[in-house]
Amino acid sequence: MLITTIPIEEFKWVTGKFGDPLGGEFLESYHLRIHHIYLDRIVFHTGFNLDEIFELTLNGDQLAVYKKWVGDSQAGNNQERSTNILLPEDIVELSVRWEVLVRELKQQERFENRDNVRDEVAALYELILEEKDARKRISKLKAVVPPEIGPIWKLVEDALTRAGNLGYTMWPTFEHPGVNTIFEKLAPLANSRIRLRPLTSEEFEKCMEQDNFLREQMITLNRQLEHTGLKIVAMGPNVDPYQAFACFPSWMLPQLHRQLEALCLICLY
């Protein structure tokens, strides 16, 4: 299957800089999965099934992806099965894995010469929290906050959770009844008693047809909030099948995006 959601330039950057003829190992720290980067292809291990992989390779001027299953060698079955037909959930999974891979590789470069991001975390607190809560949390920050994505996200996650402005749900459930209640519990929406509806099947299918279908889902969802001055934002250390979401005033989002990006956190709306 040819896939257009992954930029060829990024694929060439990853394979050119980190590829190895024998398959250089890359430990994805967020999901704790080992992927292999070759000079001409990348093999993603999903983690859902130890023998299930996605293989991404260059086919002319486009990228081709194959889903493969390797037989259980302990059971004496080494036969490999392959398909180039992907289900919608496969496309979501591959896109998430790609986002994580590229982000973590770029994070390595961005944080190479940094040893303390306390000021950046403090500035983020001042933006996303009430003044009193922000001051309290800043006072409790250690003098040195290492540039480590996991611990940084835990600081942000805890602050937003205690403020009642963080919820988790899976991307593929956007069209299912009930997912809207997760968003409605976010403090800015709950305080204003704003009600949301899940995406219709038609809206969801239209999103899946777009190159950046995750962003398209956010745009479609946020159309319901145009009259409120609020927007729901996907956040976290990476794009993830089980994603964190918060809600903020629309005017805040450009600054929020810059500050989260400085900490190598995502901000998708």
Looking at the structure, tell me whether residues 19 and 76 fall in a common domain. yes
For the ranges 71-80, 120-129, 172-181, the one whose mean pLDDT is highest: 120-129
Q: Give one DSSP letter per residue of 67-124, joined into a string.
A: EEEE--GGGT---EEEES---HHHHHHHHHHHHHHHHHHHHHHHTTT----HHHHHHH
Looking at 86, 110, 134, the residue that finishes a domain is 110
Q: What is the mean pLDDT of residues 154-159?
A: 96
Q: What is the mean pLDDT of residues 1-13?
A: 80
In a domain, 225, yes or no: yes
- Count other C-beta atoms under 10 Å from residue 190's C-beta: 14
In a domain, 213, yes or no: yes
pLDDT tens for 218-236 read: 999 999 999 999 999 999 9
Instruction: Compare 190 and 149 and report the one with higher pLDDT.
Output: 190
Residues 6+ apart with CB under 8 A from 229: 249, 250, 251
Residues 6+ apart with CB under 8 A from 121: 141, 145, 152, 155, 156, 263
Instruction: Compare 200 and 92 and report the one with higher pLDDT.
Output: 200
pLDDT tens for 57-81 read: 988 888 888 888 765 444 444 455 6
In a domain, 45, yes or no: yes
Looking at the structure, tell me whether residues 95 and 9 fall in a common domain. yes
Looking at the structure, tell me whether residues 166 and 75 fall in a common domain. no
Looking at the structure, tell me whether residues 160 and 101 fall in a common domain. no
Instruction: Compare 240 and 165 and report the one with higher pLDDT.
Output: 165
Confidence grade of residue 82 (pLDDT, cut at 50, 70, 90): low
Confidence grade of residue 29 (pLDDT, cut at 50, 70, 90): low
Tokens representing 240 are: 């993830």
Give the residue from 26, 37, 172 showing the smallest Cα distance to 96.
172
Report the percent of the chain where pLDDT is more than 90.
42
In a domain, 98, yes or no: yes
Q: Which domain holds residue 53?
A: 2-110
Count of CA atoms in the C-beta half-sphere (13 A) of 174: 29
Looking at the structure, tell me whether residues 160 and 264 fall in a common domain. yes
Looking at the structure, tell me whether residues 190 and 106 fall in a common domain. no
In a domain, 135, yes or no: no
Q: How many domains does the chain contain in total?
A: 2
Looking at the structure, tell me whether residues 74 and 159 fall in a common domain. no
In a domain, 123, yes or no: no
Instruction: Compare 121 and 27 and report the one with higher pLDDT.
Output: 121
| Pairwise CA distance, residues 114 & 143, whole Å | 14
Looking at the structure, tell me whether residues 182 and 80 fall in a common domain. no
For residue 149, what is the enclosing H or E element?
helix 149-162
- State residue 138's pLDDT score: 97
Confidence grade of residue 247 (pLDDT, cut at 50, 70, 90): very high
Average of per-residue pLDDT values in the chain: 85
Looking at the structure, tell me whether residues 162 and 97 fall in a common domain. no
Looking at 49, 83, 110, the residue that finishes a domain is 110
In a domain, 184, yes or no: yes
